[in-house]
Amino acid sequence: MSERSNTRGGTEFLAVSKDDLSERHTISVLVDNEAGVLARVIGLFSGRGYNIESLTVAETDVSKHLSRITVVTSGTPMIIEQIKNQLRRLVPVHKVTDLTVEGPSLEREMALVKVQGTGEKRVESMRIADIFRAHVVDATIESFVFEMTGSTEKVNAFINLMQPLGLIDVSRTGVVAIARGPEA
Amino acid sequence: MAVEPITGAEIIVKALIDQGVDVIFGYPGGAVLPLYDALFKQNRIKHILVRHEQAAVHAAEGYARSTGKVGVVLVTSGPGATNAVTGLTDALMDSIPIVCLTGQVPTHLIGNDAFQEADTTGITRPCTKHNYLVKAIEDLSRKVHEAFYVAKSGRPGPVVIDLPKDIQQAKYEYVNHAGQKHRSYNPPVRPDRAQVEKAIEAMAHAKRPLFYIGGGCINSGPQACALLTEFVRMTGFPCTQTLMGLGAFPGSDPLSLGMVGMHGMYESNLAMHDCDVMINIGARFDDRVTGKLTAFSPGSKKIHVDIDPSSINKNIRVDIPVVGDVGHVVEEMMRIWKARQIKPDAKALSTWWDQINKWRARDCLKYRPSEQVIKPQYALQRLYAAIKDKDFYITTEVGQHQMWAAQFLKFEQPNHWMTSGGLGTMGYGLPAAYGVQVAHPESLVIDVAGEASIMMNIQEMSTLVQYRLPVKIFILNNKWMGMVRQWQELLHGGRYSESYSDALPDFVKLAEAFGAKGLRAEKVGELDDVIAKMLATPGPVIVDCAVDERENCFPMIPSGAAHNEMLLGPDDQSAKPISEEGMVLV
C-alpha cells in the first residue's frame, strides 16, 4: 500500500507517517447483555469512522448476562489502540482483548453456500465440498446447500471455487475467535 | 424489616436526596407529571423552572462546574429530551458531570409513535457518557444511583435516565445503592509508578520545559489544582493553560504564560513550539491548541497525564503516557521529585525564561486604543479592574468576546470560569451563569456575552427574574457575529455572508420588559460608570456595551498554520495567506 487509506480525513494535518500501514485486528469484547449494547459498539465505530470488516455477537454466559462481541477491524496501530481504548470506556464493557496481538488465537467462520446446477458441475461441487470438509445440509435435484466452517481465508477459497459451479447464494456468520491455551 | 413500597417517582426523589442533590433544573410535561408531583410533596430539593430544556442542561453545567458536584436536569419526553441534546453534547465535550432525567411514554406505548415519544436513549447514545432506559421498577433505584456514579467517575460526563411514565407510578421498595461497586466500569485513578518515574526523569533533564494544563485538573478538584500549583512552583517551569484549564493555576503567577492555542498568548504558543519537555496534565491536544499537527512542538518529549486512556495518542503521539487522576499523579510526582532532590538545570532554565520573556515583551494583547469608540478589549480591562478584588465567577457565550474574556480576565482559582470549550455552544453563558448563581447566591456572576449569542437563550431572562438571580450580563455589542465576520474577512475575501446582526432588539428595553435592569454604554467615558452601576444593582442586569464593530481578535494562529506562524495583530494580517487546506478546517 503506497498511500495509506486515511479514514479520518486530512493529509498533512495528521501526525501520521506513511509507514503507518493499516493492520487487520480481531478484537473480542465481553459486554453486559443489555438493551442497546450492540448499538453502543456499532455507534462508536461509525461515529468515529473506524472500519468494521466483520462483527458477531451472542450471549455466552446466560447466568451472568454476558455477551461476546467479536469485531474484525483494520487501521494503523494508533487507530487500533484508539479503538480498544474507546471500547474500554463504554460502561457495559467488561473486557477488551486484542486476539491478534495477545498470543495465539483461533478464528472460525461458518458459511451456508447454495449451489445450483446439474450434471458434471453438480458432481464437481460435491467433490470440492468433500475436500473442504463441507457437508450438505439441504439438497434438491438441482441444488445443494453446503455448510462449511473454517478461517475466513478458507471460507473465501471455498466460495471462489463454487463460483463457476453454480453458486447462487451465500450466508456467512462473520468471525468468532478465542485465545489458545488454558487461560480465559 | 419489610420496607414499605413507594412509587417510582418517590424512589427517584429519595435517590436524588441520598445523592446529595439540592437543586434540579427542569421543565415539566406530560410524561414527568408523577415526578413533578413527588417533587411538590417534598422540600429538600429545590426546582428551578427554566424556559427551554437546553438551558436546563447548561444551567446544570454551570452548577456542576462551579461546585464540582453533579448537575441534575429534569425534562419531559419527546421535545423535552430532544431540546436537551445540545446541552448534553456540550457536557460530553467538556467532561461535565450531569444526570439528566427524561420522561418517556409508558412502556407499553414505546415504539408506537405515541404522543411526545422520541427514541431518547437512541438519540442521546452518542452525546452522553452513558444512558439508561428503565423498563422495570425493580431496576429503578439501582440505575439512578449508578447514573451518579458513572457521571462523576473517571472522566466525568452526562448520563441520561429515560423514565417511562408507568415506571414513575409503579410501586416498589426503595434501596439505597449509593457506593456500590460497579460490575464493569471501574476506571483507575492511581497512576503506574514506573510511568511517573519516567516522567520525572524527563523533567529533571529538561532544558526548555513547559507545563500544559487543562480542564482535567479542574475536574480533579480544587485540592488537585492547589497541589499542581505547588508542584509547578517547586519546579520553576513555565505553565500554560488551555481554555478549559484557566484557573487551575493562578493566572497572575509569574510562572503562568496564560492561555495557549488559536487565540492564546504569543509566548505560550511559541514556548509550546520550542519546548523540549512538554508536561501535559489533563489536556487533550485539542485541534484549537495544536494547530497544524505535523508542525506541533516538533522537538519535544511529551508527557501526557490523563484519566482517560483514549485521550492518549489520539491526535499527538506522546512519549510518556501516565493514566490516572491529576490529583493522584501530581502527588506521586511531587513525592518522587522531593525524594530524589531534583534540581533542574538552573542555567538552561534561565536561558529558557530569557527567551520566554522576549516573547512576552512583544505584548501580544496590544491593541490600538481609541477615544472615539469603546474597544472590546478595553471594556474587558475596565470590567476586570472593577471586579478583580471581588469573589467573581465568569461565564461566556461563544465567539470573539469569549476569546477576549479568556485573554483579558485572570482567574486565580479553579471553578470560577465557565465557558463552552469543546462544542462551542452559543447561548451557553446565560443559563450557565444562573446555574452558578444558584450554587453561589452571594457571589458576583457575570455572563460576558456577544449580542448574537445572547439571543440564542434570551428567554432565560425570565428565569433570572423569577428566582431573583442577580446575574450580570455584559454584552460586547459589535452588531456582528464577530468571529464569523473575522473569518470572512481573513479567509473569504471580506464577503460578509449573513453575519450582520440585523434587527437587534433594544437590550435596555428588553431587560426592562423582562423586569430586569438595562444599562447602555456607547462612549468610552461612560464605560466605568456603567460597570459601577451594574455592580451596584442588586438584581439581574443587562449591559449593552457598544464596541468597535471592526475589531478582530488577536493574536491568532490561522487555521492550518503552526504555532510559530501566529499572527500578532492587524498589521500582521496579510503576512501569509491562509492555505487551501487551512480553509477546509474550521
- Examine the domain organization and report whether B435 and B356 are in the same domain: no
CA–CA separation, B369 and B160 (whole Å): 49
Q: Please tell me the predicted confidence (pLDDT) of residue B582.
A: 66
HSE toward the beta carbon, residue B571, CA cutoff 13 A? 4
- Nearest CA to CA, how far is A105 from chain B (Å)? 25
Tell me which of A67, A98, A129 is where a domain ends: A98
Is position B570 within any domain?
no
Does A79 lie in the same domain as A141? no
Among B14, B69, B129, B165, the active-site one is B165
Domain annotation covers residue A172: yes
Of A15, A43, A91, the CB nearest to B315: A15
* Percent with pLDDT over 90 in chain B: 94
Last residue of a domain, one of B104, B138, B172: B172
Is B506's pLDDT higher than 70? yes
Which among A13, A47, A91 is the nearest to B184, CB-wise? A91
Strand partners, A71: A27, A55
3-state DSSP call for residue B47? strand
8 A C-beta contact, residue B289 and residue B315: no
In the annotation, is B135 catalytic? no
**pLDDT of amino acid A152:** 95
pLDDT of residue A83: 97
Grid cell listed for B234:
517547586
Distance CA B442, CA B460 (A): 20
Say yes or no: B30 and B110 in one domain: yes
Cell representation of residue B415: 471553578
**Which residue among the candidates B116, B381, B459, B466 is catalytic per the annotation?**
B116
Torsion on CA atoms B222, B280, B154, A33, rounded to nearest 10: 170
B399 in Cβ contact with B482 (< 8 Å): yes
Residues in chain B with CB shorter than 8 Å from the CB of A78 are 313, 317
CATH for A43: 3.30.70.260
Is some CB atom of chain A closer than 8 A to the CB atom of B136? no
Q: Is there a contact between A36 and B129 if contact means CB atoms under 8 Å apart?
A: no
Residue A168, in any domain of the structure:
yes
- Has residue A3 been placed in a domain? no
Question: Measured between CB atoms, does B142 come within 8 Å of chain A?
Answer: no
Q: What is the rounded CA–CA span in Å between residue A155 and residue A148?
A: 7
Residues composing chain A: 184
Residue B53 annotated among the catalytic residues of the structure: yes
Please state the rounded mean pLDDT for residues B325-350.
97
| Owner of C-alpha cell 466605568 | B528
Q: Within this chain, do residues B354 and B388 fall inside the same structural domain, yes or no?
A: no
Q: Which residue has the higher pLDDT, B579 or A156?
A: A156
**pLDDT exceeds 70 at position B192:** yes
Q: Are B201 and B317 in the same domain? A: yes
Q: Are residues B89 and B21 in the same domain?
A: yes
Q: What is the pLDDT of residues B356-391, one digit of tens each?
A: 999 999 999 999 999 999 999 999 999 999 999 999
Q: Is residue B486 part of a domain?
A: yes
The verdict on B292 touching A (C-beta cutoff 8 Å) is: yes
Has residue B2 got a pLDDT over 80? no
Task: Answer with the one of A83, A98, A113 that is the final residue of a domain.
Answer: A98
Which chain B residues are within 8 Å of A85, Cβ to Cβ? Answer: 308-310, 312
> B308 to chain A, minimum CA–CA distance in Å?
8
- Indicate the residue among A37, A63, A98 that finishes a domain: A98
Q: What is the mean pLDDT of residues B185-199?
A: 96
Indicate whether B355 pLDDT > 80. yes
Determine whether B115 is an active site residue. yes
Test mutation, A6, A11, A12, A13, chain B, max B CBs within 10 A: A13
CA A182 – CA B516 distance, rounded (Å): 73
Task: Tell me, yes or no, if B40 is annotated catalytic.
Answer: no
Q: Which of A147, A60, A171, A153 is nearest to A108 (CA)?
A: A153
Tell whether A115 is covered by a domain.
yes
Boundary residue ending a domain (B305, B326, B360): B360
Measure the CA–CA gap between A145 and A125, rounded to whole angstroms: 11
Q: Chain B partners of A13 at a C-beta cutoff of 8 Å?
A: 292-294, 560, 581, 585
pLDDT(B285) > 60: yes
Domain check: are A88 and A134 in the same one? no
Specify if B259 maps to a domain.
yes
Q: What mean pLDDT do residues B302-313 have? A: 97
- In this structure, the answer to whether residues B218 and B131 fall within a common structural domain is no
- What pLDDT was estimated at residue B560? 83
pLDDT at residue B458 greater than cutoff 90: yes
Chain A residues lying within 8 Å of B184, measured CB to CB: 32, 91-94
Residue B1 lies in a domain: no
Do residues B298 and B422 share a domain? Answer: no
Q: What is the CATH number of the domain that holds B262?
A: 3.40.50.1220
* B48 occurs within a structural domain: yes
pLDDT digits (tens, 9 = 90+) for B246-261: 999 999 999 999 999 9
CA dihedral B371, B377, B382, B384 (to 10 degrees): -170
What number is the average pLDDT over the span B13-42? 98
- Count of domains forming chain B: 3
CB proximity B111 to A under 8 Å: no
pLDDT per residue rounded down to tens, chain A (184 residues): 333 333 344 444 445 554 578 999 999 999 999 999 999 999 999 999 999 999 999 999 999 999 999 999 999 999 999 999 999 999 999 999 999 999 899 999 999 999 999 999 999 999 999 999 999 999 999 999 999 999 999 999 999 999 999 999 999 999 999 999 998 8
For residues B355 and B387, state if they share a domain: no
- φ and ψ of B3, to 5 deg: -95, 135
In a domain, A138, yes or no: yes
Of B121, B182, B308, the CB nearest to A36: B121
Residue-wise pLDDT tens digits, B139-153 = 999 999 999 999 999
The answer to whether residue B579 sits within a structural domain is no
Q: What is the CATH number of the domain that holds B56?
A: 3.40.50.970
Quote the domain boundaries for residue A36: 23-98
> B349 and B249: one domain?
yes
Residue type, B274: D
Residue A37 falls within a domain, yes or no? yes
Of B117, B140, B172, the residue at which a domain comes to its end is B172
With respect to residue B123, please indicate whether it lies within any of the assigned structural domains. Answer: yes
Same domain, B395 and B515: yes
Count of CB atoms situated within 10 Å of the CB of B195: 18
Query: In which band, very low, low, confident or very high, does the pLDDT at B569 lie, cut at 50, 70 and 90?
Result: confident
- Residue A43 to residue B125, Cβ atoms within 8 A: yes
Q: Please give the residue range of the domain that contains residue B518.
A: 376-546
Determine, for residues A82 and B585 on separate chains, whether the beta-carbon distance falls below 8 Å. Answer: no
Residue B27: per-residue pLDDT: 98
Q: How many domains does chain A have?
A: 2
Percent of chain B with pLDDT over 70: 97
CATH of the domain at A137: 3.30.70.1150
Taking the CA of residue B42 and the nearest CA in chain A, the distance in Å comes to 33
Domain shared by A79 and A132, yes or no: no
Instruction: Inspect the interface and report whether the beta carbons of A15 and B317 lie closer than 8 Å.
Output: yes
What is the interface pTM, i.e. ipTM, of the complex?
A: 0.93
In a domain, A11, yes or no: no
Mean pLDDT along residues B308-318: 96
Residue of B184, B294, B310 lying closest to A82 (CB–CB): B310
Mean pLDDT of all residues belonging to chain B: 96
Amino acid A13: pLDDT = 46
Chain B CB contacts of A10 below 8 Å: 581, 585
Q: Does B261 share its domain with B409?
A: no
Rg of chain B taking only CA atoms, in angstroms: 24
SS3 B483: helix
For A8, name the nearest residue in chain B, comparing CA atoms only. B315
Q: Which residues of A touch B312 (CB under 8 A)?
A: 85
